[in-house]
A = this chain, B = another copy of it.
Amino acid sequence: MEFSINNEWFIKAISDVSKAVSPNTNIPILAGIKLIAAKEAITLIGSNSEIAIEKKIPARIKGAKVFDIYQPGSVVIPSKYLYELIKKMPGDLLIKVNESHTVTIQSGEIISRLNGWNPADYPSLPNVEQAKSFHVPALQLIDLIKQTVFAVSKNQLKPVLSGVHIAVSEASLIFSATDSYRLAVKKIDIHSDVEGSLVVPGSNMAEAAKLITHESGETAIHFTEHYIVFIINSISLYSRLIEGVFPNIAGIMQIQPKTKVTLDKRKLLQCIDRTCLFAREWRNNNVNLEIQPDSKILISSNSSQIGAIQETLDVKIEGDTNFGISVDGSYLLDALKVINGENVSVKFGGTMRPVIIEPLHDPSHLQLISPVRSQ
């Protein structure tokens, strides 16, 4: 293998696929990046047992030549050293690999050698030729992920809850996540030829959102029984699926609100952020909401050790007043952070019933939080 390449595109690709490389893997070769030099593209792959990222560098970008292949081939190079070295190398690079997988990287007067591995020992990517597929605009996919992924369960007691549920049908795409104390749901309209219901590990979805953030255009989503692949421009992200039955959320979402409060999202967010300072002492970060009759909501928290806080917000109230409810302040904060728009509506079904938070006049996005025992 021998090729020359523009340093800037190479470092970008290494950085992208490195996100799938676990530095402390039990399988030594997975600490490496697989590099395949072919005439039409230089391909880089990083992977662990959960996720794989593949990036193709095309021969020309915006009309300018990016690389020259003198001899096609492939090798696996330790990810950490490759990234650190290339980041510190100036200008264009000449990269050669000999028969014992030693990689020589040269730039002007600088000559460096990295010990590589046999590419034949690197695991293959999942085969998704028989996969079903549909398309989503990248910007919408980022919203779908960010507005749900934080709500997945952080422990593995019920593995299926550590994933984001994706339900695709002819006309809609719904992402949902729950740790059984809260639920986040986001729905968009699409046109799809396929139907499917799958659960993707939350951490992999978060990684997908990060990768997509730097790209624009359509994302192609392919899925089989065991894998899902997100493809956008020259990047592909492969994730395993989680087996198991995701809870039916349709029932949970149908609550009959007794009270609906409309208020400024930024003000509520800042208020809860302050209140949470005093809520940490409680196992559930207890924040108390008190719906008062005179278009006011009193929000408070107290800690025997630190002190206490309370503040009153002016709101619009429809329905019952004069009752209180305690919720986990950090859950409320998470939900408010991902809601778009200036105003939110908060719906209460009663002291012991879940609270539903929605962007005002936008039923496509819902955040549900169960109450906690008040102090």
Contacts and interface: CB of A to CB of B under 8 A. Distances in A.
Interface in A114-159: 114-115
A243 interface: no
A307 B88 contact: no
A307 B81 contact: yes
Contact of A88 (B89, B115, B273): B273
B114 A274 contact: no
Interface stretch (A1-9, A62-70, A284-292, A310-318): A310-318
Nearest to A116: B307
B274 A309 contact: no
Interface string A77-103: 010010011001110000000000011
Nearest to A112: B309
Nearest to A110: B311
Nearest to A300: B111
A31 to B, nearest CB: 12
A89 B274 contact: yes
B110 A309 contact: yes
B277 A307 contact: no
A155 to B, nearest CB: 27
Nearest to A104: B307
A270 interface: yes
Contact of A85 (B78, B85, B109, B277): B277
A335 to B, nearest CB: 18
A299 to B, nearest CB: 10
A306 B273 contact: no
A267 to B, nearest CB: 10
Contacts of A271: 110
A273 B112 CA distance: 13
Interface in A37-91: 78, 81, 84-85, 88-90
A337 interface: no
A86 B112 CA distance: 52
A111 B299 CA distance: 11
A305 interface: yes
A88 B102 CA distance: 55
A194 interface: no
A352 interface: no
A267 B232 CA distance: 39
Contact of A312 (B85, B109, B115, B313): B109
Nearest to A81: B306
A251 B15 CA distance: 49
Given A115-B306, A306-B78, A88 B270 contact: yes
A226 interface: no
A308 interface: yes
A191 interface: no
A113 interface: yes
A270 B91 CA distance: 13
Contacts of A305: 115
A278 B312 CA distance: 60
A200 B59 CA distance: 58
A305 B85 CA distance: 15
A113 B304 CA distance: 11
9 contacts: A81-B307, A84-B277, A85-B277, A85-B309, A88-B277, A89-B274, A111-B311, A114-B307, A115-B305
